[in-house]
Amino acid sequence: MGISFESGKPIFLQLKELIRNDIAAGRYRPGEKLPGVRDLAIWANVNPNTMQKALADLEAEGLLETHGTNGRFVCSDPDVIAKARKVILEDLARQFGEKCRQIGVSPAEVAQLLAREDFSERNFENE
Amino acid sequence: MGISFESGKPIFLQLKELIRNDIAAGRYRPGEKLPGVRDLAIWANVNPNTMQKALADLEAEGLLETHGTNGRFVCSDPDVIAKARKVILEDLARQFGEKCRQIGVSPAEVAQLLAREDFSERNFENE
Amino acid sequence: MGISFESGKPIFLQLKELIRNDIAAGRYRPGEKLPGVRDLAIWANVNPNTMQKALADLEAEGLLETHGTNGRFVCSDPDVIAKARKVILEDLARQFGEKCRQIGVSPAEVAQLLAREDFSERNFENE
Amino acid sequence: MGISFESGKPIFLQLKELIRNDIAAGRYRPGEKLPGVRDLAIWANVNPNTMQKALADLEAEGLLETHGTNGRFVCSDPDVIAKARKVILEDLARQFGEKCRQIGVSPAEVAQLLAREDFSERNFENE
DNA sequence: GTGGTCTAGACCACT
DNA sequence: GTGGTCTAGACCACG
């Protein structure tokens, strides 16, 4: 298997998020060439069409560029990527804050939970 | 209009989450009677059947109970609700931690962002 | 027409029972692919949504699994099915026993009737 | 509480069956006066309207008779009752046989299960 | 082409 | 009047 997807949300959207995050995090550098659709699909254990759709969407957003027959590349403009990263982080914070408020969770509880999720490399499957 | 739904995620799932959060947060008390399906549907600006499905699902999860023709009620067992709240919080923390790691964001950055989201009553529409 | 339903009992429940029995009886083997929702609906002479609901319910019970766009499959774990069969049989015996007692029928009478119903292939429509 | 009802089947139908069985079993004798609707409703822990509907239906079937303002009585013709009993038993046997065949249960298994349900007065709630 | 979702509206039973 | 069921039909997402 490749990746664990949330249920109830289209896979291609989760793929988009995954790759977008890879770009924002710098795991894919600006201008870097991406693996082929087929390889990415295998890596994610997903139907190539699904991966194709995710990539096409990211291209429409300007984060990816197709250079003719040479393959797909990460956008080469660092500003675009920096802006994308900013948007992602703001969205993350906004959504997280909103959900906390919805659940009525106190800041103290959040801190405690985040402490448990101490950003180390833990395996979240076995909890 | 009633509620703004995320795109790309079934409405009835978002409704479930909304109501589940209301219960976990205590905005609906254990044993409290819910508004009628039709009323809730109007409030959320959704087809009654969609709301019906969301409620039926929550009932299958044990958070709601239908007392015949008398209406739907929040589960009267506080333990069930407490447990549900725990699950929600754990999921929230897990997902949040995972996303942070994916984006490659440092705890410091998160802290800064959460400080901005300091749980005060801000309007997140205009950011 | 497809199937004769009892009146006074939701069709989707009767569909569930039918399919559950098919699984328990091994007419659908573990891991086997089911016909499409629309096909099953036509076969049973029922609205696709009604069939959909029945199948979704069985899925929630763990007897069926949906593999994305590939169709629905019988649970591949024989233990789950064996357990389901056990539950069905126990329920059947319990209900039957209870009804016999209610009617005040003697075991002898039951035996005689069951002898008539000796599990041969009779047509029960013309009785 | 009064009576445990099957889920997924209208209560008034189950009440009909219950009372019909009482008559067929002779617990209500031909011509005997029934308790008032209100009393029966209390006994069964059911809304009087529901009981009323059950009784009205049985009256339409000829098993009950209303004698003006004197109350409801069991049909005084023993033949009617005997015939009703016959129908009930045949239905029971037919349904049971059909279900067994559906589940693909062997006569041996049935015998074994019926042995466990040995028609003594057991409490089936605690199994 | 598959299952899934959503809407609209009708009817029914009454846990 | 409440929740539940069923139908009809359209659209979408997924692979």
Contacts of A24 (CB under 8 A, 6+ apart): A81, A84, A85, A88, B103, B104
Residue of C nearest to D105 (CA): C25
Mutate which of D4, D50, D90, D105 to test chain C, going by most C C-beta atoms within 10 A? D105
Q: Tell me how far apart the alpha carbons of residues D127 and D125 are, in angstroms, rounded to a whole number.
A: 6
In this complex, which of A89, A102, A113 lies closest to B113 when CB atoms are compared? A89
The HSE-up count of residue C122 (CA atoms within 13 Å, CB side) is: 16
Nearest one of C57, C35, C38 to C49, comparing CA atoms: C38
| pLDDT exceeds 90 at position A114 | no
Mutate which of D87, D98, D99 to test chain C, going by most C C-beta atoms within 10 A? D99
Q: Full-prediction pTM beyond 0.85?
A: no
Mean pLDDT of B76-83: 94
CB contact under 8 A, D103 and C88: yes
Higher-scoring residue by pLDDT: B57, A110: B57
Q: What is the pLDDT of residues B7-66, one digit of tens each?
A: 778 899 999 999 999 999 999 999 999 999 999 999 999 999 999 999 999 999 999 999
The secondary structure of residue A64, as a DSSP letter, is E
Question: Terminus-to-terminus CA distance in chain C, angstroms?
Answer: 20
CB contact under 8 A, C8 and D9: yes
Strand E: which positions are within 7 A of a protein CB?
Answer: 1-9, 13-15
Query: B60-66, long-range: CB within 8 Å, 24+ apart, which pairs?
Result: B60/C60, B63/B20, B63/B23, B64/B34
The secondary structure of residue C7, as a DSSP letter, is T
Identify residue D107 by its one-letter amino acid code. Answer: P
Query: D95-100, long-range: CB within 8 Å, 24+ apart, which pairs?
Result: D96/C92, D96/C96, D96/C114, D96/C117, D97/C114, D97/C117, D97/C119, D97/C124, D98/C124, D99/C21, D99/C92, D100/C92, D100/C119
Nearest one of C95, A116, C74 to D95, comparing CA atoms: C95
Q: How far is C68 from chain D (nearest CA, A)?
A: 29
pLDDT score for A79: 92
Q: Is C114 on the interface with D (CB under 8 A)?
A: yes
Q: What is the pLDDT of residues D34-91, one digit of tens each?
A: 999 989 998 888 888 889 889 998 998 889 999 888 889 999 999 999 999 888 888 8
